[in-house]
Amino acid sequence: MKSTLILCYGYVALHAPEDQILSRIDSDILRSISKHFNTKDLTMKLSLIQSVGLIAKAISTVVRNQGYMFVRKQELMGVMMDFIKAEPTDAMRTPVRHLVMTTCANLINLEPALTENENFEMLRTCLNGVYGLPPVNTPDKDRGKDEEALEPQQREVLYKDTFNALQELLRNILARDLSPDGLQTVFKHIEEWLSSGQDHERERAMNTTAHILEFYFNNLHVKNMVTFHNLGSLLGRLAPRCTDPNPLVRRAAIDCIYTLLYIQLRYEGFSLDYKDDSVERLITLRESMDNPDHSVLYKTCSELAKIISKRLPQQQLNTLIFMLFEGLVDSQSNCSRASSVLLNTLLKSRGAGLQDLVSEMLEVLHIRLQMISEEQVKVSVAQSILILATQHLQTVINTLISYPLPFDSWSCEMWIALGADSKLASQIMEMLMEKLNVMAPYVDKKESMMRAGLTKVATSHPLAMTCALKEMMLNGQSQEAVVSLFPQLFSSLLVRLGSSVGVTLPKDINSFGTNRKSPTKLSAGFDVCGVAVEALRILLARAQLDDVVKPLDQEGAWDKMKDPQQHITGVTLLARAMARHAGPRLPAIVECLCPCLNNIYECQRVTITAFFSELLNHHVVTELMMMDVLMNNMMERISDPCCTVRMLAVRGLGNIAVGSPEKVNKYAKELLAAMSSGMEEKDDPGKHITLEAMSGLSKVLLYLDKKNVQLLVVYIFMKIKPFLESENDEIRCASIMLLGNLSKFGSGEPVFKDQIHNVLVSLLLHLSDPNLQVVKACKYAMRVCAPVVGSELITTMFQNHLHEDKSLHYGEFINDLTKYIIQDFPGMLNFYHITVIQFFKSNWAEVRAGAAMFIGFLLGNLPEELFSHINMGSVTKGLVMLLQDPDPVVRVKAAEAMGHFH
């Protein structure tokens, strides 16, 4: 009875005289029925909803355009929303929803207008209450057992009425503000359902959208100076749904786009009955959307993008592009792929006009890549980056280079994408190399206020460019570009490697993370030199030089290149592998590297000189006619301000004797001058240049004609002598070897014979040198010098006993030797014993012991008539000093020598 009475109030209001109704609505009608708003009874609830709707209709009929303010409108709307919220979310068994929305459709027409928040709350409640329902054909038994099940026909009618009521409500909301903003207000509540994971929810949302767009179009009256400013955003949401897995969604999406483009044409001033050929093609496309074949769908998608591109104003393109970026992560893989097809088609046709947005677009793609799981969509994003690069190359490069280091995996993917197009990859690589070659690779910074000294700190741009080159070359499709630019790439990366050794990362390099806000932990493998080494390795692999890479891997050359102490060794191994397995590529590389030998950074000059130096060790240099170029470069580097560069230049000149011995006499003058100069080097703290000069000269002498050396023999000999007693084992060894190699040029020369006697004592005593290599060098030198000494006995003795790998009984050997010296050179006894006494002060105990032994045997074997040749005072004084030597062996040998005084 109450329900009937409440319903009667509504009908009384609807049919009451117009001049009497407004004054009674609040006091007589609403006051009577509002006390029942909290009812749980369904019948009463339905009567209340209908009654409020009839009252709203009555007021609307009466007031028309009088500006009447219905003060209880918001309250009644709130009650209606509560009724919907009270309904079960997973079932529809009552007409509550459609009656509430019919009532709200009537209330919405009354003033005052709802606030933005009220409007938002109402739309969200209604859409959630309707779209979230299970499909109409879901069996009732699955919805709960509290109430009687509905017949299928009843349920179908109930659903249909509800959706019709929702559409009426949306039409009435839209009618209050029939503008682009009004349309957006309604659509923003529907759009989130368009990408739902449930087919039926997407279908409902798309059908609603099609309905409101058609209503908008049919009731549109375009005013001057108004633009359809949200066309791009609407298309961006709807276009990807054209490949939705649900065919009904696909068809509705095409219908929506068809209507949207005609709405745009109306805004452009075309008449209501105007037909556009390109838009009309959508009708044909609509039919092809029934074909579920992926290739057909994506082809249709591409056609759709062309139609949109033709009709879309430039100022709307930006919004559409960014909406499609969001579509790349759509929950439906079909639609995310469609977004990528639409995006790339639009970028190809219209991307050239988006200069100002390139950086922002790349930033968004970078973020999207982190969320995309669909491999095909990732491939399409790579294509998007390529398209942008073909249109705005400099901007794309500048943007990607500025990304935080180390590049995260998504930044790396973007660089890898740029390697896919050979022509474009070549352009980018050339740009990066050009900048790499001119930008400062590092800056010198003071280590701290407390400590002196400077640290090399990498500059970020060249480091980023090296990383970029490395990533691009990881793309297999970059091979053609890599091969065509191989000499330049190899040279640039080798120079970059040289200026990366011992260089630290900037302290602030990890202050920016992936999103440029949160710090990221630096990868343990990320270091300045490591990046250059890795890039070089990838370059060789991409250029299919596996034969070069293999020995470098086996010899640990990559790690050596990174180590400041072993860098030169690493570069030497690289040059060796290139000379052996990639000879034909070397002339172009040498041509690229030559100008870099004048670079201001000595670390770069060191690396290039080390590379060139080792090349000269191989005959390929002569075969490919590079000798003159390399020879000239080495000669220039001999006067380099950097000590290490000078040392490597001298090494390179010596290597000519190994790589191209037939060229030694051609360059005899230059080689001898350079080596002689190297042996006199003053600014050579570690005597490295001296060592290389002597080692190199030893190699060169093996192939020089006598005429080229003869005049210099004594001059060189004099330079060698000081090094025979060097504390540096390597220098002692090299000087003794050189002395031996020089001997063949002195045979038959009296002056040279004297020189040999001058150094013979030193060689004899160093036969007991603590360093085994020095001992071997002494044996070699004495054996080859023997013919020059002038004694057949001594010559035979040296050649029989002094073999590098044979052991020598030193005491017996010296004993016999002193006998031959007494016999063959009595006139030189004074010289010999004075020379030996000088070695009593030698740095090595073994040599001091040997000197004592030599004097002892000399005295023991000396006939009485020759004692006048010996200064016994000096001998005695020297031996007495040795008797106090810290080394016991020396003391014993001195005592034995004293025993011969009788």
User: Per-residue pLDDT tens for 565-583?
Assistant: 999 999 999 999 999 999 9
More confident residue, 900 or 616: 616
Identify the pLDDT of residue 158: 87
Residue 517 has pLDDT above 50, yes or no: no
Identify the pLDDT of residue 224: 67
d(CA 454, CA 452): 7
Residue 275 has pLDDT above 70, yes or no: yes
d(CA 379, CA 416): 11
Cβ neighbours for 7, distance < 8 A, ≥ 6 positions apart: 47, 50, 51
Kindly tell me the burial class for residue 457, based on how many C-beta atoms sit within 10 Å of its own C-beta (0-12, 13-18, 19 or more).
middle
Residue 421 · residue 386 · CB < 8 Å: yes
Q: Which two structure tokens, joined as six digits, stand for 112?
A: 């005052």
Identify the pLDDT of residue 753: 83
User: What counts of helices (H) and strands (E) characterise the chain?
Assistant: 46, 2
Phi, psi (deg, nearest 5) at residue 843? -70, -20
Residue 62 has pLDDT above 50, yes or no: yes
Please tell me the pTM assigned to this model. Answer: 0.82
Cβ neighbours for 597, distance < 8 A, ≥ 6 positions apart: 605, 608, 609, 633, 636, 637
Phi, psi (deg, nearest 5) at residue 804? -50, -40
Q: How far apart are the first and last CA of the chain?
A: 156
Residue 381 · residue 372 · CB < 8 Å: yes
Q: What is the pLDDT of residues 315-338, one digit of tens each?
A: 899 999 999 999 999 988 889 999
Q: Which two structure tokens, joined as six digits, stand for 403?
A: 């990304």
502 dihedral zone (left: phi>0; alpha: psi -120 to 50; beta): left
Residue 663 · residue 622 · CB < 8 Å: yes
Residue 389 has pLDDT above 80, yes or no: yes
User: Mean pLDDT across the stretch 521-532?
Assistant: 78
Phi, psi (deg, nearest 5) at residue 6? -60, -40
Residue 143 has pLDDT above 60, yes or no: no
Identify the pLDDT of residue 516: 44
Cβ neighbours for 27, distance < 8 A, ≥ 6 positions apart: none
Residue 735 · residue 691 · CB < 8 Å: no
d(CA 858, CA 870): 10
Which DSSP category does 606 fall into?
Answer: H
Q: Which amino acid is at 456?
A: K
Question: Which candidate, 85, 95, 159, places its Cα nearest to that of 126?
Answer: 85
The overall longest dimension of the chain from CA atoms, in Å, is 166
What are the residue boundaries of the structural domains of the chain, listed by start?
A: 1-138+150-176
Residue 146 has pLDDT above 50, yes or no: no
Q: Which amino acid is at 534?
A: E
What is the 3-class SS of 744-810, one letter each residue? HHCCCCHHHHHHHHHHHHHHHHHHHCCCHHHHHHHHHHHHHHHHHHCCHHHHHHHHHHCCCCCCCCH
Residue 13 · residue 21 · CB < 8 Å: yes
Q: Across-strand partners of 69?
A: 111
Q: Which amino acid is at 127?
A: L
Identify the pLDDT of residue 869: 83
> In this predicted structure, which of 55-69, 80-94, 391-405, 554-568 has the lowest mean pLDDT?
55-69
pLDDT band, residue 203 (cuts 50/70/90)? very high
Sign of the Cα torsion 249, 251, 254, 259 reads negative
CA distances (Å), 322 to each of 318, 338, 382, 411, 702, in order?
A: 6, 14, 16, 19, 75
Which DSSP category does 328 fall into?
Answer: T
Residue 44 has pLDDT above 90, yes or no: no
pLDDT band, residue 72 (cuts 50/70/90)? confident
Question: Which candidate, 55, 52, 212, places its Cα nearest to that of 127?
Answer: 212
d(CA 815, CA 813): 5
DSSP string, 37-63: TT---HHHHHHHHHHHHHHHHHHHHHH
Q: Is 422 helix (H, G, I), strand (E, B) or coil?
A: helix
> In this predicted structure, which of 145-149, 158-162, 871-875 has the lowest mean pLDDT?
145-149
Residue 521 has pLDDT above 70, yes or no: no
Residue 801 has pLDDT above 70, yes or no: yes
d(CA 460, CA 443): 10
Identify the pLDDT of residue 748: 63
Average pLDDT across the chain, whole number = 89
Q: What is the pLDDT of residues 646-663, one digit of tens each?
A: 999 999 999 999 999 999
Which DSSP category does 504 fall into?
Answer: B
Identify the pLDDT of residue 513: 40
Q: What is the pLDDT of residues 745-781, one digit of tens each?
A: 876 667 778 888 889 999 999 999 999 999 999 999 9
Residue 46 has pLDDT above 90, yes or no: no
d(CA 483, CA 479): 6
pLDDT band, residue 522 (cuts 50/70/90)? low
Phi, psi (deg, nearest 5) at residue 179? -140, 170
Q: What is the pLDDT of residues 444-455, one digit of tens each?
A: 988 766 666 789
More confident residue, 293 or 251: 251
User: Mean pLDDT across the stretch 96-123?
Assistant: 88
Cβ neighbours for 259, distance < 8 A, ≥ 6 positions apart: 210, 213, 214, 216, 217
Sign of the Cα torsion 555, 558, 564, 567 reads positive
Q: What is the pLDDT of residues 597-613, one digit of tens each?
A: 999 999 999 999 999 99
Identify the pLDDT of residue 225: 63
Q: Is 485 helix (H, G, I), strand (E, B) or coil?
A: coil
Residue 852 · residue 894 · CB < 8 Å: yes
Q: Which two structure tokens, joined as six digits, stand for 900?
A: 């011969």
